[in-house]
Amino acid sequence: MSYRYCFLATLALVCAATGRAATVYDNTTTDSGDVFPYTSGFSSYSQIGDTVTLAGTNRFLTSAQIQLFNNSLNSGTYDATLYFWQVGSPVGGLLGSFTRTGISIGAFGFPNVDFTNLNLTVPDSLVFTAAVSNVSAGLHLGMGLYTGPTFGSSNPGTLITATGQTFSQGVAGNGLGNSYLRLTADPVTSSVPEPSTFSMTGGAALLLLCAVRRRKR
């Protein structure tokens, strides 16, 4: 019986190691129909984002998802860089940045863009911004706005933008929503185990299972 209990305990440890992630901010449910463009007839922005406050207590970011809209009949590709900043006036020190390249987007498309393996510890409130580069000719990209987070909180009437390296806080279009964003995090005290940890834990479970089977013979 002791082998069985040891095996179950080890299995529980494996499940716990792979199931700690929780959503700490989610503004992806209701599309406001509004878009804040990177380039319009009046202005051009190098970065667009928002100030957000996270829910729960997990603060070791593991993944993020944003959504950009192509207000064009053309298809193409672009690169996206996601930045996380401390809250400041309007942004503080840089916490981390992550880049994805060669993202495909169709005419009037708005595919989700996932960033994984962030492994970044963050405070309760932070600023995120997204920059685009290497944009195919004819694309007109913008940040989709949604009507309010279901996890966490943010001000639906303002956005953070940058022109070159100069940041400012301004009104978000018609004040209809917040930037599309979903953040997933682990507890800071038990961040994602290294692959070797998974291997050792899984190996221990396998050995205990074999021991149980031999005991039953």
Per-residue model confidence as pLDDT tens digits over 33-58 = 888 999 977 779 999 999 999 999 99
Question: What gap in Å lies between CA 55 and CA 173, rounded to an integer?
Answer: 26
Whether residue 14 has pLDDT greater than 50: no
Give the ranges where the chain is alpha helix by DSSP (H). Answer: 2-18, 195-216
d(CA 20, CA 192): 8
Where do the domains of the chain lie, and which CATH numbers do they carry?
A: 21-189 (2.60.120)
pLDDT digits (tens, 9 = 90+) for 143-182: 999 988 999 999 888 899 999 999 998 765 555 678 999 9
Angle at which helices 2-18 and 195-216 pack, to 10 degrees? 160
- Predicted confidence (pLDDT) at residue 11 exceeds the cutoff of 80: no
Q: Token pair for residue 19?
A: 């199931």
Sign, Cα dihedral of 39, 171, 177, 125: positive
The dihedrals phi and psi of 20, each to the nearest 5 degrees, come to -85, -20
State mean pLDDT over 125-136.
97
CA distance 66 to 84: 13
| Mean pLDDT calculated for residue range 23-41 | 91
3-state secondary structure of 132: strand
Predicted structure pTM score: 0.79
Neighbours of 91 (CB within 10 A): 23
Contacts (Cβ under 8 Å, ≥6 apart) of 14: 198, 201, 202, 205
Tell me the sheet residues that pair with 44. Answer: 39
Which tokens in the block code for residue 204? 């221990």
Q: Are 149 and 26 in contact (CB under 8 A)?
A: yes
